[in-house]
Chains A and B, each alone.
Chain A
Amino acid sequence: MKKSALDRLLEDRRERRAVAMVTALDTGDQRMVYLDDVGAEGDLAAPLAEAFARDKSQTVEIGGAEHFIHVFNPPLKMIIVGAVHVAQALIPIAEATGYAVTIIDPRGAFATEQRFPSVRLYDDWPDEILPDLDVDHRSAILALTHDPKIDDPALTFALKSSCFYIGALGSRKTHAGRRERLLANGFSDADLDRIHGPIGLDIGARGVAEIAVSIMAEVTRSLRQGAEAGA
C-alpha cells in the first residue's frame, strides 16, 4: 500500500466517508473506490455494493484474477441521551465494540467531563443538537434519562432519521405511556415499533454493568441481523 493511500484512508475515516480499498492479489496493485462511484466499476460493482451494504470485506474472482475488497464504512456512532450511571457503564463496552460515543444531557450537573472523560459531551437539549451530529445508517440513538421532557424530543428525532437502532430506558408501563404520547404526536404504531423499550435484551440483568451488557447485545443484534431481529 502506498503511504499516500493509507493517509487518505485515515482521512476518509475521520470524515466518515465510505470507501473500499481494492487489491489485485496477483500484482498487489491497489485503488480506492468510494461508495458513490460503485456503479462505474463494471464486474466489480455488484460485489462492491454487497460489501458496503453488509459491511463485509471479501475476496472475489473477476476474469480469472482475485481481488480483495476491503470495506471501510464510516465508524459506528452511539448517541446517548442522558449522562446517567448506565451510560458510564455502557461507554467502555461501546468503545471496545467500535462505536464513537456522544453524550447529550441538558442538565449541566450530569454532563461533566469529569464523569465522562473519553466522549463528546453536549449539555444542549437533544432536539437542538441532534441535527448537527450527522446521524446516519451507522448510528444508534439511546434515550436513558427516564424524563419525557428530555427523552421524547430525542426519540422524535431518532424516528425521523435512518439510524439503525433506537432504544429507550424504562419499565413496560413507562414505555406504554411513551408510545401513547408519540402516537398523539403523529407517529404510527409501525414507526414506534422501531423503539426498543424497555431497552436491552431480557437477560435478567442486575445493576448498571449487566444492564449495559444487555443494551450492547441488543444494539449488536440490530447491527448484525437487522432491525427486525428479535422483534
Chain B
Amino acid sequence: MSVLDTSVLAQASAWAEEGRQVALATVIQTWGSAPQPVGSQLAIDADGNFVGSVSGGCVEGAVVTEAVDVIETGKPATLQFGVSNETAWEVGLACGGTIRIFVEKLN
C-alpha cells in the first residue's frame, strides 16, 4: 500500500469532519491485467467529488455514480467491471482485465 492510498483515507476522514457524506470504493479482486492493485481506493463525496484511483481512469465515472447511491441508501455494494461485461456496464477496462470493487458508506 502506497503513501498515495493513505492520503485517500486521510481525505475521506477530513471530508467527514467537514460534515460531508463520504463513500469509500476499494478494489477487492482483479483478474488478468488490471491497472491498480487490490487495495487501491477512491473516496467520493455526495456531490461526486473524488480523490484516489481504482482503475487509472477507466471506470471511475461509473464507480462515483454508484457511490453516490450508496451514500443515499447506506447499503454497501459490490461492482464488477471487465471488457466482457458490456451489457451490464457501458464502461470497461481497455487493458482486458476484470476488477471487483466494494463500495461502502463512511458512517
Do A and B assemble together? yes
A-side interface residues toward B, CB under 8 Å?
Answer: 1-3, 6-7, 9-10, 13, 23, 25, 28, 55-59, 68, 70-73, 75, 95, 97-100
In the docked arrangement, what's the CA distance between A68 and B104, Å?
Answer: 13
Query: Per-residue CB proximity of B25-67 to A under 8 Å, as 1/0?
Result: 0101100000001110000000000000000000000000000
- B102 with A98: CB separation less than 8 A: no
Where chain A touches its partner, the secondary structure class is mixed
B-side interface residues toward A, CB under 8 Å?
Answer: 1-4, 6, 9-10, 12-13, 16, 24, 26, 28-29, 37-39, 75-76, 78, 100, 102, 104, 106-107
- A68 with B6: CB separation less than 8 A: no
Question: Known pairs A3-B16, A58-B29, A68-B28. 7 more at Cβ < 8 A?
Answer: A6-B106, A55-B1, A58-B38, A59-B28, A70-B39, A71-B1, A75-B3
Closest B residue to A23 by beta carbon equals: B102
| 6 smallest beta-carbon distances between A and B, as pairs | A28-B76, A98-B2, A57-B39, A68-B28, A57-B38, A59-B29
Residues from chain B with a CB closer than 8 A to the CB of A9 are 9
In the docked arrangement, what's the CA distance between A41 and B93, Å?
Answer: 36
Residues from chain A with a CB closer than 8 A to the CB of B102 are 23, 25, 68
Where chain B touches its partner, the secondary structure class is mixed
- Given A1-B106, A3-B106: A10 in contact with B3 (beta carbons within 8 A): no
Residues from chain B with a CB closer than 8 A to the CB of A1 are 24, 104, 106-107
Quote the shortest CB–CB distance from B97 to chain A (angstroms): 15
Residues from chain B with a CB closer than 8 A to the CB of A73 are 1
- Given A7-B13, A98-B4: A68 in contact with B26 (beta carbons within 8 A): yes
